[in-house]
Amino acid sequence: MKPNETIPDAMAADVTIYPVGLLHDWQLFVHAVDRTEARHRFLGSLRREWDRIKARKWRSAKSYLNGYLAEHATLGTRCGTGWTRGRAYRDLARHLHRDPRDSA
């Protein structure tokens, strides 16, 4: 697969990209109407994540720092991750091109 290859247009319509973890919490904080409650929720999620890091739960800490997830509705359970929407999309395309179940 070439680095600039993407998902074919027919499959791209079914791709969903959304923020998760730290980026999701940050977006909720920035766009919240009630700043006090939003600040408490944001700081609480950071404290929970810090507790997981102290407990050496590295997989949880890594998942919290994913940024964006890109998922296809019907083509398997693999997802693409990245700190930008484009990077998550390209990561998903890389997973789908390597998947032997992919007929395209």
pLDDT tens-digit map of 2-55: 444 556 566 666 788 999 999 999 999 999 999 999 999 999 999 999 999 999
Residue 103 lies in a domain: no
Q: Which domain holds residue 69?
A: 9-98
Whether residue 3 lies inside any domain: the answer is no
- Lowest-pLDDT range, 47-51, 86-90, 95-99? 95-99
pLDDT on residue 9: 60
| Predicted local distance difference test score (pLDDT) of residue 26 | 92
* Residue 67: pLDDT over 80: yes
Residue 1 falls inside a structural domain: no
Decide if 29 is inside a domain.
yes
For residue 50, the model assigns a pLDDT of: 95
Number of domains in the chain: 1
Alpha-carbon distance of 87 to 17, in angstroms, equals 10
Residue 104 lies in a domain: no
Residues 6 or more apart whose CB falls under 8 angstroms from that of 30 comprise none
Query: Is 24 within the bounds of a domain?
Result: yes
Kind plus residue range of the DSSP H or E element containing 10: helix 9-12
Number of Cβ within a 10 Å radius of residue 7: 22
Given a contact cutoff of 8 angstroms between Cβ atoms, the answer to whether 75 and 102 are in contact is: yes
pTM recorded for the entire structure: 0.71
What is the arithmetic mean of pLDDT over 65-85?
86
Instruction: Examine residue 43 and state whether it is found in any structural domain, yes or no.
Output: yes
Handedness of CA 104, 100, 88, 71 (dihedral sign): positive
The pLDDT score that the predictor gives to residue 73 is 81
Which residues, including other chains, have CB under 8 Å from residue 32's CB and lie 6 or more apart? 38
